[in-house]
Amino acid sequence: MNKKLLALYGLKWNPFSPELPLEALYSNAKVESFCWRVEQGLIREGGFAMISGDPGTGKSVVLRVLAQRLGQRHDLTVGAIVHPSGNLADFYREMGDLFGVELRPHNRWGGFKALRERWLAHLEGTLLRPVLLIDEAQEMHAGVLNELRLLSSMQFDSRNLLSVVLAGDARLNHKLRRDELLPLGSRIRTRLIMEYATREELGECLNHLLRTAGAPHLMSKELATTLCDHAVGNYRVLTGMAGELLATAAQRELTQLDEKLFLELFTPSPSKARKRT
């Protein structure tokens, strides 16, 4: 959305865009509790944490919030896997890039040893474990997940060198129940289960997005209620519908988004409804 259209409603940014600035991200008490446990426990003791939930329930937003908070600590190294579906050689290449270690995929033992030495030096210098964030973790190969488990622990599994936060949908839960991944599944210390939002939670999110964007009165209260009723508890559905309403309103230069516009865009006309029957 260009500056002219943003100015039409006094917006600092599009409140329904996936590319929201960090200060506009919405988090509730459950998310705050999870981030606190990672900040106060996981990075000091290491190990695995997991965020799970259906698509659109806010897993990736939690990772962004967590990454922003951890990134404010100058004594902590934080990295994020961007290619979770890669094979073991790809995994080692990416880990080398993230942690500044020169690795040779054909020498896995050398890479294994070099990464652990880097993490151990970080731990001895800061008393904190480096953090690895992995979104879409359900796409990771079982062999890669097991390699990560072995790579991040030492002294007969009594000392963790890395803090790992996995985020994924229901497929990740099912994968961790498989026999070859049970050792990893049993090591998940901190969990956050993202569930479909209530009407009240959707309303709080919508109000937060509008307020931080600088236009709390962009839409009528009736429209806000209608959107929350039709979003089926899904934040992505909520912002998707709201974004379409905003784009249409801007095109027509309407002064406010209201329920009339919602009905026009999302309610099938009687003729179309008769054709379906």
**Looking at domain 46-194, which of 3.20.20.70, 3.30.1320.10, 3.40.930.10, 3.40.50.300 is its CATH number?**
3.40.50.300
CB contact at 8 A, 39 and 68: no
pTM of the model: 0.90
Residue 211, pLDDT score: 96
Cα 192 to Cα 67, 232, 253, distances in angstroms: 15, 21, 42
Close Cβ partners of 130 (under 8 Å, ≥ 6 residues apart): 76, 77, 78, 79, 99, 119, 122, 123, 161, 162, 163
Residue 76, pLDDT score: 96
Beta bridge partners of 163: 47, 131
Residue 192, pLDDT score: 97
Longest dimension (CA), the chain: 71
pLDDT in tens, the chain (277 residues): 567 667 889 999 999 999 999 999 999 999 999 999 999 999 999 999 999 999 999 999 999 999 999 999 999 999 999 999 999 999 999 999 999 998 876 788 999 999 999 999 999 999 999 999 999 999 999 999 999 999 999 999 889 999 999 999 999 999 999 999 999 999 999 999 999 999 999 999 999 999 999 999 999 999 999 999 999 999 999 999 999 999 999 999 998 999 999 999 998 766 554 555 5
Residue 59, pLDDT score: 96
Residue 103, pLDDT score: 81
Residue 104, pLDDT score: 78
Residue 7, pLDDT score: 82
CB contact at 8 A, 10 and 214: yes
Residue 272, pLDDT score: 54
Residue 43, pLDDT score: 96
User: What is the DSSP code (8-state) at residue 196?
Assistant: P
User: What is the DSSP code (8-state) at residue 39?
Assistant: I
Domain map (residue ranges) of the chain: 3-17+197-276, 46-194
